[in-house]
Amino acid sequence: MWFDSDLVATFVITGTDTGVGKTVLTTLLARHLGARGIAVAALKPICSGGRGDARMFRAALDGALTLDEINPWHFRAPLAPLLAARRERKRVTLREVTSHVRAIARRHDMVLVEGAGGLLSPLGEGFVSRDLIAALHATPIIVAPNRLGTVGQVRLVLDALSDGAARRSRIVLVDQQRRDSSAASNAPLLRELTSRLVVTLPWLGERISKTAGRISPALRRSIEALLR
């Protein structure tokens, strides 16, 4: 079935920083939805410094999308995408990215879009993930490491979103390999302070590629709550 892209559930996975677990979460969501028979697209429209994340998504989708459909703009330098593109004398605009996402969305029930870096990291000429969220009318999923300092960082991201996007947002805290004393209290404190859905993702490390279909019932419930 073909869908009007405005009616397709679209989630933008953003975060407090780079390397906080956005790709792990997006891969889990894609695998979970695919296992339920939902036509899902997992996209990383822009990346720099390598296409490893996009390849993980392609594997999670069992090759249903090509690498270039998942990641149409990729640049060699491990810099903010805006600067990496400029090094190659290229430009990426918000209109181009939203057009690509909407074209893919028409063939799917649900679309997951991972940003690059944090919410305000420059993706292209004059836009950041916040602008992509607004242009796609998407639900933001904010990913942050579950450690000391995370509560303030998540609240800064929420403050940077529009009121509507902030109300729609969900928060995912990713446990660290070594949990600190704040790990148990961060989620309940964020629920109290933000009134948002907050779930905790366990540390998966290198097991992410082997996780599909074998996640715990508690983790499955958390994933399903994020997608409601």
Residue 199's DSSP bridge partners are: 172
Residues 6+ apart with CB under 8 A from 210: none
Amino acid identity, position 106 = R
How many Å apart are CA 105 and CA 111, to the nearest integer?
6
What is the DSSP secondary-structure string of 55-85?
Answer: HHHHHHTTTSS-HHHH-SEEESSSS-HHHHH
DSSP conformation class of 47? E
Q: Of these residues, 22, 44, 90, 210, which one is catalytic?
A: 44
Pairwise CA distance, residues 103 & 129, whole Å? 19
Residue 44 annotated to the active site:
yes
Active site residues: 44
